[in-house]
């Protein structure tokens, strides 16, 4: 079973899925940020952050996700958010996070 903050490579090996925790605050947020940075440094070009376990994203979580997006963008990688609940999608849209990331179901 995949734990939050861990990731799996996708079939093409140029992509990875990183699983976020149920509450995306500093502790868990920094864990997925480290994992995303590691994957990008390894050459991953499509990074999926899976929010299926995530109920709440606070300001720290938003800041960390923006950091992941920025790092990916500087390295020519693409970030996708998957399985995001309705409230969190609303939050991301309201803050303009969705300008930089594709949300998939």
Partner 1 sequence: MTENRSKLIHTFGALAELGQEVSSKNGFQETIRTSLHLLLGSLAIMRGGVARYSRFEHELTVMAMRGLGDNFPLSLSLCQEDERQFLVNGLHPIEVSQASVLPFFQVYDRSFEQSRVELLVPLVIRGETLGAIFIGEKASGESYTSHDREIICAMARHIGVAISQRNMMSELERKADENRKLYDDMRMTYKDTVKAFAAAIDSKDKYTEGHSVRVGKYSEIIAKELGWAEDEVEGAAVAGYLHDVGKLTVERKIINAPYRINAKESAELNKHPGVGYEILMPIHHPYADVPLAAKYHHERLDGRGYPDGLYDREIPYIAKIVNLADSFDAMTTDRPYKRRRPANEVFEDLQRNSGKQFAPEIVGALFKGLLSEMSGETKDKKFRRLLGREYMESEGLVPVLKTALNGMPSSSPIMLMSLD
Residues near partner 1 (CB under 8 A): 26, 58-64, 66-67, 70, 90-91, 94-97, 99-100
Q: Measured from the CB atom, is 10 or 60 closer to partner 1?
A: 60
Estimate the crossing angle of helix 59-74 against helix 26-41, to 10 degrees: 10
The span from the CA of 21 to the CA of 77, in Å, is: 22
Locate 12 and state its tokens: 């093409």
Q: How far is the CB of 5 from partner 1 (least distance, A)?
A: 17
Q: How far is the CB of 8 from partner 1 (least distance, A)?
A: 27
């Amino acid at each position: 079973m995949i734990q939050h903050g861990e990731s799996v490579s996708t079939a093409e090996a140029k992509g990875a899925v990183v699983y976020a925790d149920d509450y995306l605050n500093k502790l868990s947020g920094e864990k997925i940020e480290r994992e995303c940075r590691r994957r990008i440094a390894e050459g991953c070009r499509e990074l999926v952050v899976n929010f299926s376990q995530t109920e709440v994203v606070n300001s720290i979580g938003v800041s960390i996700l923006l950091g992941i997006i920025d790092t990916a963008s500087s390295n020519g990688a693409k970030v996708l958010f998957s399985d995001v609940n309705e409230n969190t999608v609303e939050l991301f849209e309201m803050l303009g996070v969705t300008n930089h990331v594709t949300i998939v179901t």
